[in-house]
Amino acid sequence: MQSGKMRKQGLSGKRHAGHGGGHGAVRVTTEREVRVGVFRQPAMQTPVLVLNASYEPINICGARRALVLVLKGVARTEEEQGAVLHAARMRVAMPSVIRLLEYRRIPHQTRALSRKNILLRDRNSCQYCSVILTAGELTLDHVIPRSRGGLSTWENLVACCHNCNRRKGNQMLHELTDMKLQREPRPFSLHTSRHIMRMIGSADAAWRKYLYFEAEPAA
Ligand SMILES: [Zn+2]
């Protein structure tokens, strides 16, 4: 295997011509056919870790999307789930980790503001009393209440238990003596992103070597 070492000039947007055959290597019909064949399988929703060409973890996507990237020759499977997909005239090992064949420059990673992502950022822990609950037992609290002009932003939304949410009501934090935030809510950073990948990937041993950098040489 020829693993191209990433150098700085590789980031400039210029890319080396791919070695011939990269795209034709996987003989699969069409993306459409793949989608039709696999759409309803539950394994399709399994999270897949996406690595940059440099092996740096950059994202998580659903197995269906990962499979499409592999079948299109954009990525290759680094680790398999163990499940094999049988679709029209096709047997494909379901990926657990894929790697992009060409290095992609990743801009500031922004994640969609969603209930799920807020809970992940806050580690399913009420940001006022620190109790850890399941996602279903938590709600989102606007730190500055909406009725007082608070916006739905990363900085103004936190995971919150129903008790704290009731107690806080429409009050501002500075009006309350017995409630305060455990930590300042922040938007996603690369660090948070890694943290989330670790949380999601903790169930999948195959991800660990990509998410924890035990063997990382001193920079
Ligand atoms: Zn609470």
pLDDT for 58: 81
CATH 1.10.30 segments of the chain: 9-40+110-175
Distance 182 CA to ligand 1 centre (A): 10
Distances (CA, A) of 140 to 38, 118, 183: 35, 8, 15
Residue 74 one-letter amino acid: V
Predicted confidence at residue 56, as pLDDT, reads 83
Give dist(CA 86, CA 212) in Å, integer: 33
pLDDT tens track of the chain, all 219 residues? 444 444 333 333 333 433 433 343 333 334 443 443 444 456 677 888 899 998 888 888 888 899 999 999 999 999 988 777 777 777 888 899 999 999 987 665 566 778 888 888 898 999 999 999 998 999 999 999 999 999 988 899 999 999 999 999 999 999 998 899 999 998 766 666 777 777 766 667 778 778 765 433 443
The three-state secondary structure class of 82 is strand
d(CA 63, CA 151): 34
Q: What's the 131 CA to ligand 1 centre distance in angstroms?
A: 6
112 C-alpha to ligand 1 centroid (Å): 24
CB atoms within 10 A of CB 88: 10
Ligand 1 centroid to Cα of residue 188, in Å, is 22
Pick the CATH number of 9-40+110-175 from 1.10.287, 3.30.310, 2.60.40, 1.10.30: 1.10.30
Distance 159 CA to ligand 1 centre (A): 9
Tokens representing 27 are 């003989």
Ligand 1 centroid–CA 2 distance in Å is 52
Query: Any residues with CB less than 8 A from the CB of 95 and at least 6 apart, and which?
Result: 48, 63, 66, 67, 70, 77, 78, 79, 80, 81
Token pair for 97 = 């980790």
The CB-side HSE value for 10 (13 A sphere, CA atoms) comes to 16
Instruction: List CB-based neighbours of ion ligand 1 within 5 Å.
Output: 126, 128-129, 161, 164
- CA of residue 126 to ligand 1 center, whole Å: 5
From the CA of 185, how far away is ligand 1's center (Å)? Answer: 15
Buried b (16+ CB within 10 A) or exposed e, 153-183: ebebbbbbbeebbeebeeeeeeeeeeeeeee
CA of 176 to the centre of ligand 1 (A): 14
Using the mean position of ligand 1's atoms as its centre, give its distance from the Cα of residue 154 in Å: 19
pTM, rounded to two decimals? 0.48
Q: Read off the amino acid at residue 189.
A: S
* Confidence (pLDDT) at 108: 55
Residue 141 in contact with residue 161, Cβ under 8 Å? no
Distance in Å, CA 76 to ligand 1 centroid = 44
162 CA from centroid of ligand 1 (Å): 7
Q: How far apart are CA 167 and CA 161, in angstroms?
A: 10
Tell how far the Cα of 184 is from the centroid of ligand 1, in angstroms: 15
Ligand 1 centre and the CA of 155: distance in Å? 18
Distance 67 CA to ligand 1 centre (A): 40
